[in-house]
Amino acid sequence: MFRRRATAISAFAVFSAVSVILAGCSAPGSDDKSSGDSSGPIKIALVDAQSGQLSSLGAWELKGARLAVDEWNAAGGVNGRQIELGVFDDQGDPTTGTNLARKIDSEGYIAMIGTAESAVTIAMAPILKQAEIPNITSGQSPGLVAAGSEFLFLNGPTSTTYDETLAKHIVDKQGTKSIAMITNNGSYGKGEHDAFLKALQSRSVTPVADQVVTTDQKDFSAVLTGIRQKNPKVIFLGAEEVESGLIVKQARDLGITATFAGAAPQGTPVFIDTAGAKNAEGTIVSSPYLGNDISDASKKFATAYKAKFNEEAELHGAKAYDGTQILLAALKTSNVATGKALADAIRATKYQGLLGNFAFDTTGVGISATAIGTIQNGKLVAAAG
């Protein structure tokens, strides 16, 4: 009798353990084995979440990178060598990421695109630094800069830039001082929390509420009811697409009419779909890529993207496209160098991209400006004025 109950409880332990192990060890993706010699294809790894809650990011990244690689391959590759893009699934999990970092090193990949998750990239950074594999990430946490690796580059601005621009718009321009914050305790949310709070403090604004949620949370009634009583004008969101969307949906159900504001995730279709277009209306977004109609380059990119994948291009695809273009340009100028020489070539690359003019500084940040947009009729558009 007692054995049975013990089984039930140990089964619970097994259940939890199995979930962790499954998240940890399976790594579907390319398993090609060829050495990193100077003939044959140039091997570039793309590491991103291809499964799990963050997989939409990974899917966009893959499309952006794939588009850039295919364009180069169609034009004859780099120095006559084709580029081979190996795809690895990190499941948005840092442990899986570190395993993959060793894997791409041992399989002779010379550079890496991704990941879109700051926490995963930060976990991978020391291994990639040791292996001298340059990495162009789509993460934006200031923690990436703090990692201090000369092999780590960002294909966009850090949270500091996003949130400084956002605070400037909300506080300085609109004169709103009644601001609440909801951030999650993941790497991205933590970066957003610190960056936005700092931007507010430099303007002597204290948020009326500063709530932290977990990355896995589904019900936000307690947090939102507390915020509703403070009646803020603007609620800042520092969480990924799906979670932010759920927060907005539940907030509107609770009768909160405040405007939401955030950085890159709040401008994506996944956020808008999850929240519902009506609920997301008016959300203020700080982003380096406000839409596909901003410039000739972005129109061309969006057309090619649509033709290839039959869906609308958005920020993350554009970021990965830019990052991959920079990497390939650096490979070309350096005559397919590897290791430190390739990292130096990336740092020296000046590139006019979809997100702006890339000029890397010593910290690996290439872009240091964002623009303000708002969501109108379910689409992100540049803010008037």
CA angle 93–97–99, rounded 5-degree value: 125
Is residue 12 a contact point for another protein (CB under 8 A)? Answer: yes
Is residue 25 a contact point for another protein (CB under 8 A)? Answer: no
Is residue 97 a contact point for another protein (CB under 8 A)? Answer: no
Comparing CA positions, the residue from 98, 93, 133 lying closest to residue 117 is 93
In this complex, which beta carbon is closest to another protein, that of residue 18 or of residue 146? 18
Identify which range of 137-145, 200-208, 266-274, 323-331 contacts another protein by CB under 8 A.
Answer: 266-274
Is residue 115 a contact point for another protein (CB under 8 A)? Answer: no
- Minimum CB distance to another protein, residue 89 (Å): 8
Is residue 242 a contact point for another protein (CB under 8 A)? Answer: yes
Is residue 11 a contact point for another protein (CB under 8 A)? Answer: yes
Identify which range of 103-111, 137-145, 238-246, 345-353 contacts another protein by CB under 8 A.
Answer: 238-246
- What residue has token string 């044959």? 40
Identified binder of another protein from the candidate list 37, 39, 204, 218, rule CB under 8 A: 218
Identified binder of another protein from the candidate list 212, 337, 381, 383, rule CB under 8 A: 212
In this complex, which beta carbon is closest to another protein, that of residue 105 or of residue 241? 241
Is residue 377 a contact point for another protein (CB under 8 A)? Answer: no
Identify which range of 70-78, 150-158, 212-220, 351-359 contacts another protein by CB under 8 A.
Answer: 212-220
| Distance between CA atoms of residues 111 and 151, nearest Å | 9
In this complex, which beta carbon is closest to another protein, that of residue 170 or of residue 256? 256
- Minimum CB distance to another protein, residue 226 (Å): 6
- Minimum CB distance to another protein, residue 274 (Å): 4
Identified binder of another protein from the candidate list 221, 303, 335, 357, rule CB under 8 A: 221
Is residue 380 a contact point for another protein (CB under 8 A)? Answer: no
CA dihedral 18, 22, 25, 30 (to 10 degrees): 160
Identified binder of another protein from the candidate list 121, 161, 211, 292, rule CB under 8 A: 211
Is residue 14 a contact point for another protein (CB under 8 A)? Answer: yes
Neighbours of 84 (CB within 10 A): 18
Q: What string of DSSP letters covers 259-304?
A: EEEESGGGGSHHHHHHH-HHHHTT-EEEES---TTSSHHHHHHHHH
Is residue 284 a contact point for another protein (CB under 8 A)? Answer: no
Give the 3-state secondary structure of residue 207. Answer: coil
Q: Which residues contact 284 (CB under 8 A, 6 or more apart)?
A: 166, 169, 170, 234, 259, 260, 261, 262, 372, 373, 374, 383
Identified binder of another protein from the candidate list 55, 95, 333, 368, rule CB under 8 A: 55
Q: Which residues contact 334 (CB under 8 A, 6 or more apart)?
A: 341, 342, 344, 345
Burial class from Cβ neighbours inside 10 Å (0-12, 13-18, 19+) for residue 308 reads middle
> How many residues touch another protein (CB under 8 A)?
51
Is residue 9 a contact point for another protein (CB under 8 A)? Answer: yes
Is residue 187 a contact point for another protein (CB under 8 A)? Answer: no
| Distance between CA atoms of residues 58 and 66, nearest Å | 12
Structure tokens at 279: 């609920």
Contacts 24+ apart (CB under 8 A), 253-256: 254/221, 254/224, 254/225, 254/228, 255/228, 256/224, 256/227, 256/228
In this complex, which beta carbon is closest to another protein, that of residue 5 or of residue 33? 5
Rg (CA), the chain: 21
- Residue 332 and residue 147 in contact, taking contact as beta carbons nearer than 8 Å: no
Is residue 276 a contact point for another protein (CB under 8 A)? Answer: yes
* Interface positions with another protein (CB under 8 A): 1, 4-5, 7-9, 11-12, 14-16, 18-19, 22, 49-53, 55-56, 58-59, 184-185, 211-214, 216-223, 225-226, 229, 242, 245-246, 250, 253-255, 270, 273-274, 276
